[in-house]
Every structure is written in structure tokens, then in C-alpha cells.
Structure 1
């Protein structure tokens, strides 16, 4: 009985390893085929191309294309550390650039809220128009509900930027007193077993959640490619434009787009954290925060703040 169980376990492991190796090998073919046949998924005037994007965007094939790409780049980077540092600089630079732009949504949100209060309380206006020449007019409640979009933009698009800037809350009960290389091992473990899996799961649910509010017939994560291609015969765009109130904000599909963007940015930042942690572990404490583009106050602002503290 024990021998039969052992044989079954070993057979299952062998099947799993074979499946994994096969998927990694097929990733090179799938990526090459997608690049050499862009009309199959980029021609969105063809409903079947849209359905291929819907299917492959949340598929096992797409996951292994991304997984294999990261695996190959990591292997090259272990051989040539300068290449891996370049990847870290590129990913963290992208996170910083996107976050610094998206952060301005906070200022727009505040200004728009002030305008809404003035228009409602002082001028008793029911609509607000915006534009030069041909103005865009919406009910005040529409502009008021739209404020949620700015908040969602800050959360979704600034998540990796905040991580690069070390702005996230960290529980340091075990991490803070640890040695330098122990911290790097913790970061590597966290990137591989927490950040990446959560980002992948969020992407898988968010991807089909998004497309169910963009097209008809509604796609499902359990449907295969053949089934979705059959649905393409009845395909039509059906972008969600329903608000919570009759005159309220009616572009809630944008929140679904931001959810997918959030998952993608978290995954990319996990890759950056993995690479940086490995490089700092290998090169020692002198490499800590190397090439890290952190925001800092100007000297004048710092001196002013110190003067205020001294006077108090």
C-alpha cells in the first residue's frame, strides 16, 4: 500500500514537472506566433480578434509567456548583473514616472471639489460646464461622483511609485532588527510568494470582470477559446454607462480598467523588488538603494522646516 502511494505521488510529481516544462517551452512558440501574426489580435474591427484578446489576456498561455520572460531575463541578469540593474532602473523609473504624473489627480480632485461647493452653495447651479468653444456640461452630481475616479487613479497608479519611495506601511517587528542579507531574503520571499501571486489572482479576476462590462455576449473565465470565437458571431460593444443615480457619473468601467492596471503594476514592482533584493544580497550593504530615485525636499525647504522646529 505504501509503495503504491509512493508511486502515485512520484507519478503526480513527474506529470506536474512535465506539464511545467511543456508550458515553458510552448511560451516561446506562443510569443513568437503572437508577434508574427498581429492581425489575429490587434485588428479590433474583427470580433474574433477581440475575443482572442479576451481569452488570452487571462489564460494559462499568457501567464507562462510572462513567467518565462521574467525567468529568462532573471537568468541573463544573474550572469550579467549590469543587465539586471538596468531592469531595476527601468521598472522603478516607470513606476516613478507614472506615479508622479498620476499624483496630480489629488490636486485636481481638491480643486474640483472646491468648484462644486461654490457652484452648489453660492451660485445654486445645477450643471457645470467645462471647455473652450464647445463646452461639456454635466449635472453637479455627475462631477461630484467623478471625484471617486481621481481617488481610484491615485490608489491604482501610484501603488508601485509609493513602494519605490518606501511610503507603504511596514510592520517591522521581525524585519527591522534582522541583518542586511536576512532582509533581502525576506524581500525575495515576499516578492515571489506574496506580491506576484496576489497580482496574478487580481489580474485574472479583474480581466474578465472588465470585459463583462465592455462587450456582449459577456465572456466568462471558464470558457475556452472555441466557445468565445463562437460568441464572436453575436459580438457587439456594450460599454457600461450606468450610474448609481440618474444624473450621476456613468463611466464606471474606468474603475475596472484601473483594477487591471493596479494588478499589472504590482506584478512589475514585484519583479523589480526581486531583482533589486537579489543584487543587494549578492553585492552587500554598499549596494543598498543603488540607483534608487527617491523624492526629496529641496535644501531651502529643509532649512525652513528645521528653522520652524528650532523656533518652537
Structure 2
């Protein structure tokens, strides 16, 4: 029995050691891969070359890309741990990106409302089967096309405003334990949450969303299980086949945009997870006086403070 337990323990330790070596090896190779990619941009950015497109598809959802990002984040983190103002600068930059993107695409909600009003007027009052916009060469589609396009505005708000809402503290949260613990404990929970939940989930969504997107843009359809060599072979028959089929007759024909938004959503959540980890660490180190430091929160104006943060 003791021999079996010893063998199991030895196998577990060996597996951990092998995993650690694999991780360190990939991190070391990441810097070489980054240098090679920067030095040879035509290998993956020259989309007049079908093989370059397939390389872009493969590396966009590859282990190499993940470790390239991990190596960059690790390097930035080390610099930030040594020089905290640099880390604060990263936090401000990433949060500004989230806020700016969110504030811009939040206007899609207004467009959605206005377009819905136009649809109702055209259907019920003018009894028109279509809507025409523009001069010279007008944009003319059936009303059902514009009705289904409303989903796109909703997707823009959800996918591109999610990190903005996170920065603003607008997401619903149930603080049964979090609200009762000390300030520094909260920051530890935040750091663990960003590393153990936000980053892994964003990575999984990116990995699945990346190939899901490209399967609706090109043929032969790429697969997550395809090796680089197999994709390069497929490049001989590759052609663009952007999805333009609606779910209903005369319906919205640009559903490929939803796949692109899914990938954008995952990328923005990944970046915000890094910013949240950095902010939580800095507030943990510097204490309560640094809480919400440099945080660019929306305000309703002077005298409306009582209504802010009410959802």
C-alpha cells in the first residue's frame, strides 16, 4: 500500500515538474516568437498571401500567442513592481481605453431606440415595406433587415461596454462576504478573482470565439485542432466566404459582425483583468488612501451625488 502511495505521489510530482518545465520553456520561447513576428510582419500580415492568412488564423488562437501575451504582461508586471508609477500608468491607460470605448459605443443604445421608432412609423403610418437612407446611391433594405439589425446595436453595447461598466462599478454584485472583510482582504480577493476567474474565462472565450469567427469568414473552415502544417495545406484552396445569410427572408445579412464582437469582448475583458489586478495590488500596497486613485468615474454633476451609483 505504501509503495502504491509513493508511486502515485511520485507520478504527481513528476507531472507538476513536467508542467512547470513546459511553462518555463514556452515563456522563454515567447520572446523569440515575438521578435520573429515583429521582424517578419509579411509572414502573417500580408493577406494577399493565402498562407499568411492561415498563419494569422493559427497563431491568433495558439498556445504561442497566449505565452507571448503572458511574457509581455510578466515583463510589464516586474517593471511595475519595481517602479509603481509605471504600473499606475498602465492602469490609467487600460482604464482610459475601456472608458473611451464604452462611452463611444454606448451611443448605440440611442441609435437602437431611434431606429426602432423609425421602423414603427414606416410600418404603421407610412405602410412602407422598406427604408431608404442616403443620397445618390441610397442604402435600401427591407424593414425586416433594419429590425434584425437592432440586435447588432445591442451586441455593441454588451460586448464593447462591458469593461467600461466594470470600471464604473456598474455590474450587479452580491457582497455577502466581500462587504464584511477588511480593505486589504478585499484587495486580495480582487487580485485572486482577476487571475483565477477573469483571465481564464476571457482566454477560453477568445480561443473558442477566434475559430468560430474565422469559420464564418473563410473556406475551407479552420478548426482549433488543425496544426499549422494542415492550415498551410488548406491555404491552397482558401477563399473569402464572409457570412451574409440572414435568419429570415430579407433579414439582416451581416451576422459575421457578432463573431468579431465576441472576440473583441474577450480581448477587452482580458486587458481589463490585468488592469484590475494592477489596481488591486497597488491599492493593497499603498493602503486605503489610494482607493479609486486616478479612477475616471462618470458623474451626474454637482448636487447629484446622492443619485450616483444607484442602479
TM range (shorter): over 0.9
Equivalent position SS for 1:192:
helix
Aligned equivalents of 1:187 and 1:170: distance in 2? 13
| Pair 1:197-2:166 in alignment | no
Structure 2 residue aligned with 1:102, among 101, 105, 112?
105
Q: Go from structure 1 to structure 2 and tell me whether the alpha carbon gap of 1:303 and 1:280 turns closer, same or farther (over 3 Å shift).
A: closer
Structure 2 residue aligned with 1:230, among 233, 255, 261?
233
**Which residues of 2 match residues 1-312 of structure 1 at below 5 A?**
1=3, 2-299=5-302, 302=304
Aligned equivalents of 2:14 and 2:145: distance in 1? 60
Equivalent position SS for 2:178:
coil
- Deviation string 1:103-123 (CA, Å, 9 cap, x unpaired) is 000000000000000000000
- Deviation string 1:255-276 (CA, Å, 9 cap, x unpaired) is 0000000000111110000000
Equivalent position SS for 1:176:
helix
Equivalent position SS for 2:177:
coil
Aligned equivalents of 1:132 and 1:297: distance in 2? 39
Equivalent position SS for 1:299:
coil
- Deviation string 1:177-235 (CA, Å, 9 cap, x unpaired) is 11100100000010000000000000000000000000000000001000000000000
1:68, CA displacement in angstroms? 1.1
TM-score (norm. length: structure 1): 0.95
Please report the RMSD computed on the Cα atoms of aligned residues, expressed in angstroms. 1.4
Aligned equivalents of 2:7 and 2:190: distance in 1? 40
Q: Go from structure 1 to structure 2 and tell me whether the alpha carbon gap of 1:132 and 1:184 turns closer, same or farther (over 3 Å shift).
A: same
Equivalent position SS for 2:224:
coil
* Aligned residue-pair number: 305
The runs of 4+ residues in structure 1 deviating greater than 4 Å are: none
